[in-house]
Amino acid sequence: MLGTITNVCCIVVGSTIGALAKRALGEKYTTVLFNALGLASIVLGCNAAVSHMGKSDYPILFIMALAIGGIVGTAIDIDAKVQRALEKRGGSNAAQGLTTACLLFCIGTLSIVGPVLSAVEGDNTFLFTNATLDLFSSMMLASTFGIVIIWAAPILFCWQGSIYLIAKYLSSSFFSEGLINELSIVGGVLIICTGLSLLKIKDCKTLNLLPSLIIPIVFYLIK
């Protein structure tokens, strides 16, 4: 778990530094950062989805995942509930910022394969690399959205910790290349959604789409 703990610490440190820097930034510069993050999210999301699309064994699975997950998330109304909870603590953009942070930190080859390698081989290289990237990403996100980004740290710990425990004590083969591809495609689309929201092009209510990430896991469990 050393790699995951390091990753979590980097997010805490980066978020703290970024939140302190936010106080020195005026509204004009905050707007620029919003636009930069929005564009970066779209590029990263497109790259994640497209680069894994050709490797998918089930090309329509991500469509089913988004449809089913979106219906479930809308029925629960995750977006509205989280928005109300976080607006009391971090302002009107808190939920949007935390969603963006969690998707960027958790969805990716480094964050999924890293805990598996750590559990099976004791190799933390992927996680240390991911921690370095998350350190700077959390600084930029916190300088835009504030200290609310620090809450992505415990979420990442639960995400990577769960993968670690499954690989360590149940089956490392569960997180196959196929499952990672499907998660990356769905995750890439969700990251694109956050980018569109940040740029104020379309509010896709990304939080309502989060259950989509569960569908590939359920599919592979049944398979």
For residue range 34-46, list pLDDT tens digits in order.
Answer: 888 889 889 988 9
With tokens 């990237």, the residue in question is 133
Q: What is the mean pLDDT of residues 112-118?
A: 88
Average pLDDT for residues 79-97, to the nearest whole number? 74
Rounded CA separation 183/40 (Å): 20
Task: Copy the structure tokens of residue 118.
Answer: 């750590």
User: Mean pLDDT across the stretch 119-132?
Assistant: 89
In this structure, the number of other CB atoms found within 10 A of the CB of residue 59 comes to 10
What is the average per-residue pLDDT within 181-193? 91
Specify the pTM: 0.82
Name the phi and psi angles at 107, rounded to 5: -95, 110
Count CB atoms within 10 A of the CB of residue 122.
9
The rounded distance, in Å, linking the Cα atoms of 102 and 150 is 10
